[in-house]
């Protein structure tokens, strides 16, 4: 029998019984194996309340729902992709495989910048403008994952209140951390799901700190860097390697008393760009002024993106970049998959504690430890543990 959630009264419960007070505290999910909604909600479990939607969808239902642009099904398909369960991973890959013919038609735009640069506000203003122009826009935000608690706030959607209510827009915050590919695999596959659902513009907002900028650059067509005035001298600006990845540099918050400073900053960034090789062959990177609050400069930015798409498609750079991104994705997944196969091998897992102790004791060197573990790894044994993703064995509950 599945373990049940414990429900108790909070410490701030009033002394006298009050029918208006209906707060309770759930004990948490540690150790609970059955995480269906029926287990979470006692009313559904007892039969007093019927669930409004099916708890488990088949592959056909995922594919058909995403293909017709159903936002609920799309959300659930993305949740399937983000799951770290091997069973969910296999099902997600089969769903994605069937939807691949519907992907590849959207313009993919990456947006990065330091925290506080106004990325979310700019995305909301830009997204509303694009929706007004008849586009369907998907916004994927990569949220930092705590190295201590392993959790993410996923609060970017709250800063896009107007855009999140529009039927033409779909906003999905995702954690940067996790296994089976982290931001690289999950963001790429989420992007493909949104394309399959009919969204023709994909905006991806990065964490703004660390390696995720390079990762997002490797999955988008156009990469935009959002900066503020007073960013530092020219040499410091050039030393920030992120500038070498940008197809456009946008000085945000160019309004009010800050407008003059923004114009000066634009000139400084234009001089910096002269020392940097363009991120896209044949496309000159420039700095632009914009104000997400006053909605100025956004139309110019969209014209720049359209010009970029036309120029790179005409020159062949657009398709060449996408082809290179697909191969890089494949190679990174090979590295990751081999890494997981090695660490999940039962013989390696059994031997690993002894080897670690020997390394820490100074009995053997790390190089010797690696050589010993590699020698114990059996490729045939690892291959026997693998399932065919696209021709799965029959499972209870049905796959298709």
| CATH number, domain containing residue 333 | 1.10.287.130
| 201 class by beta-carbon count within 10 Å (0-12 exposed, 13-18 middle, 19+ buried) | buried
Do residues 172 and 283 share a domain?
A: yes
Do residues 353 and 281 share a domain?
A: no
Do residues 86 and 139 share a domain?
A: no
Residue-by-residue DSSP string for 308-363: HHHHHHHHTHHHHHHHHHHHHHHHHHHHHHHHHHHHH-HHHHHHHHHHHHHHHHTS
Number of domains in the chain: 3
Q: Please check whether residue 133 lies inside any domain of the structure.
A: yes
| CATH number, domain containing residue 120 | 3.40.50.300
Do residues 113 and 93 share a domain?
A: no
In this predicted model, what pLDDT tens digit does every residue of 202-231 receive, in sequence order?
999 886 555 567 778 888 999 999 888 865
Q: Would you state the pLDDT for residue 33?
A: 46
Backbone angles phi, psi at 136, to 5 degrees: -105, 125
Strands in 87-196 per DSSP E: 107-113, 137-143, 169-175
> Given CA atoms 362, 366, 368, 370 in this order, what sign does their dihedral have?
positive
Do residues 210 and 96 share a domain?
A: no
In angstroms, the CA 24 to CA 275 distance is 60
Q: Would you state the pLDDT for residue 323?
A: 96
Q: Would you state the pLDDT for residue 178?
A: 45
Do residues 308 and 344 share a domain?
A: no
Do residues 131 and 173 share a domain?
A: yes
In angstroms, the CA 5 to CA 201 distance is 42
In angstroms, the CA 16 to CA 206 distance is 49
DSSP code at position 4: P
Q: Please check whether residue 360 lies inside any domain of the structure.
A: yes
Nearest to 178 by CA among 170, 169, 187: 187
In this predicted model, what pLDDT tens digit does every residue of 249-280 receive, in sequence order?
999 988 888 899 999 989 988 988 888 888 99
Query: In the beta sheet, which residues pair with residue 110?
Result: 204, 223
DSSP code at position 180: T
Do residues 190 and 254 share a domain?
A: yes
How many Cα neighbours within 13 Å face the side chain of 146?
7
What residues contact residue 353 under an 8 Å CB cut-off, 6+ apart?
none
Q: Would you state the pLDDT for residue 201?
A: 97
Do residues 220 and 194 share a domain?
A: yes
**Measured between alpha carbons, how far is residue 175 from residues 143, 183, 291, 330 in Å?**
5, 7, 28, 22
| CATH number, domain containing residue 58 | 1.20.5.170
Per-residue pLDDT of the chain (400 residues; tens, 9 = 90+): 445 555 566 666 677 766 666 666 655 545 444 444 434 556 655 666 665 666 688 999 999 999 999 999 999 999 998 887 778 888 999 999 999 999 999 999 999 887 778 888 899 999 999 999 999 999 998 765 544 444 444 455 566 778 888 999 999 887 655 433 345 567 889 999 999 999 999 999 886 555 567 778 888 999 999 888 865 544 445 445 778 889 999 999 888 888 999 999 899 889 888 888 889 999 999 999 999 889 999 999 999 999 999 999 999 999 999 999 999 888 888 888 888 889 888 899 999 999 999 999 999 999 999 999 999 988 888 777 776 666 655 544 444 4
In angstroms, the CA 377 to CA 370 distance is 11
State how far Cα 276 lies from the chain centre. Answer: 28
Q: Would you state the pLDDT for residue 344?
A: 86
For residue 113, the SS3 value is: strand
What residues contact residue 275 under an 8 Å CB cut-off, 6+ apart?
238
Residue 172's domain comprises 103-314
Do residues 174 and 189 share a domain?
A: yes
In angstroms, the CA 353 to CA 92 distance is 33
Nearest to 390 by CA among 43, 11, 92, 16: 92
């Amino acid at each position: 029998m599945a373990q049940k959630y414990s429900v108790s009264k909070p410490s701030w419960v009033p002394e006298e019984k009050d029918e208006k007070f209906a707060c309770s505290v759930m004990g948490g999910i540690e150790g609970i194996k059955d995480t269906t909604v029926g287990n979470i909600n006692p009313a559904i479990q007892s039969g007093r309340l019927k669930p409004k939607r099916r708890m488990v969808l088949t592959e056909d239902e995922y594919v058909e729902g995403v293909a017709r642009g159903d936002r609920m099904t799309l959300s659930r398909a993305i949740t399937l992709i983000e799951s770290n369960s091997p069973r969910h991973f296999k099902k997600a890959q089969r769903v994605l495989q069937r939807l691949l013919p519907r992907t590849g038609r959207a313009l993919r735009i990456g947006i990065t910048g330091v925290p506080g640069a106004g990325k979310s506000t700019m995305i909301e203003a830009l997204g509303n403008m694009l929706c007004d122009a008849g586009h369907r826009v998907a916004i994927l935000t990569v949220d930092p994952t705590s190295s201590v608690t392993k959790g993410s706030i996923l609060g970017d959607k709250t800063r896009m209140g107007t855009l999140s209510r529009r039927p033409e827009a779909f906003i999905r915050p995702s954690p940067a951390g996790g296994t089976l590919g982290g931001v690289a695999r999950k963001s790429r596959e989420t992007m493909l799901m949104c394309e399959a659902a009919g969204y023709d513009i994909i905006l991806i907002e990065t964490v703004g700190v660390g390696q995720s900028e390079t990762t997002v650059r490797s999955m988008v067509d156009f990469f935009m860097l959002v900066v503020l005035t007073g960013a530092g001298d020219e040499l410091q600006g050039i030393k920030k390697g992120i500038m070498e990845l940008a197809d456009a540099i946008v000085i945000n918050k160019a309004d009010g008393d800050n407008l003059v400073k923004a114009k000066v900053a634009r000139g400084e960034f234009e001089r910096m760009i002269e020392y940097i090789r363009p991120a896209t062959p044949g496309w000159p990177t420039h700095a632009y002024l914009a104000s997400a609050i006053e909605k100025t400069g956004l139309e110019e930015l969209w014209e720049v993106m359209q010009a970029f798409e036309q120029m790179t498609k005409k020159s062949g750079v657009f398709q060449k970049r996408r082809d290179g991104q697909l191969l890089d994705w494949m190679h990174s997944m090979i590295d990751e998959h081999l890494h997981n196969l090695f660490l999940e091998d039962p013989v390696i897992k059994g031997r690993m504690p002894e080897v670690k102790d020997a390394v820490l004791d100074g009995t053997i060197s790390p190089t010797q430890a690696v050589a010993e573990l590699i020698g114990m790894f059996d490729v045939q044994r690892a291959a026997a543990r693998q399932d065919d993703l696209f021709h799965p064995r029959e499972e209870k509950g049905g796959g298709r």
